[in-house]
Amino acid sequence: MGPLRSLVSMELKGVSAIVTGGASGIGAASVRLLAKGGAKVVIADLDRQQEVGEALAKEVGGAFCAVDVTNTEDIINAVEMAKSMGPLRVLVNSAGIGWAQRTIGKDGSYDSAANIEAFKKVIAINLVGTFDAIRIAATAMSQTEPLEDGERGAIVNIASVAAFDGQIGQNAYSASKGGVVGMTLPIARDLSASGIRVNTVAPGLIDTPIYGQGDQSEAFKSQLQKGVLFPQKLGKPEQLASMVLECVTNSYMNAETIRVDGGIRMPPK
């Protein structure tokens, strides 16, 4: 790292980081970039992701920790694992699920209205789980020795453009991601006293395994990308991870939500 960069960037070498949902997609791409920068990364993901998570951990010299973000004890385990690898200074909240359902059913019965338990589940994982990871990891960060200018750590949340222009059926998903966007500023204000920065990245349409494989999948993705201004294609996880890394390392980046979406504005459906 050159002298100019060292004045504006948080050094990753020797620190530990946690990436929830880190075994795949944007999370995995973030893991690789953080590790490339010198961080020891804990890949925090569901136990069913253990095989792929451990393979990634071996690749980057990190560790896998089975974490369900709706379970506080799991989050604490990941934080303690990270602390054993170096001072915890980075948290990336990438764990999340999607769900689509109309608000009311076609037959007009109460039973056919949107599944409220599904709505609660999306909120529990995407919003409450994100905040739980923040409050636990930030507590650990607050106990670390401050860096130059008093900085102790950086948190980056992954939201979605659905927080701003959600489509029909995205009620739960948009509400959860809108909540993440909405809490970014107050948490950043709160944690500023401890020298911890908080930012949120809102991805657009990203080419991840969620779309499946094969000709039908490719045709579907081809249709989706027509709404992107430029470049007219789906984003790559690495392009999102690059912004995550910038939010982590740029010491003047704070309390902001950044869309990374190729300029797309999602239509109603």
Q: What is the pLDDT of residues 148-177, one digit of tens each?
A: 899 999 999 999 999 999 999 999 999 999
pTM of the full predicted structure? 0.94
Residue 8's pLDDT is what?
A: 64
Tell me, yes or no, whether 264 lies in a domain.
no
* Residue of 110, 173, 211, 252 marked active site: 173
Strands of 5-93, DSSP E: 16-20, 40-45, 63-66, 88-93
Which domain CATH number covers 92?
Answer: 3.40.50.720
Tell me, yes or no, whether 144 lies in a domain.
yes
Tell me, yes or no, whether 267 lies in a domain.
no
Tell me, yes or no, whether 147 lies in a domain.
yes
Residue with tokens 């530990």, as numbered in its chain: 16
3-class DSSP state of 149? helix
173 in catalytic set = yes
pLDDT in tens, 194-215: 999 999 999 999 997 777 778 8
pLDDT in tens, 177-193: 999 999 999 999 999 99
Nearest to 13 by CA among 36, 31, 39: 39
Q: Evaluate whether 50 touches 115 at the Cβ level (below 8 Å).
A: no
Tell me, yes or no, whether 266 lies in a domain.
no
Q: Evaluate whether 72 touches 50 at the Cβ level (below 8 Å).
A: no
Residue 22's pLDDT is what?
A: 98
Range of the domain at 148: 3-259
pLDDT in tens, 33-62: 999 999 999 999 999 999 999 999 999 999
Tell me, yes or no, whether 72 lies in a domain.
yes
Give me the number of domains the chain comprises: 1
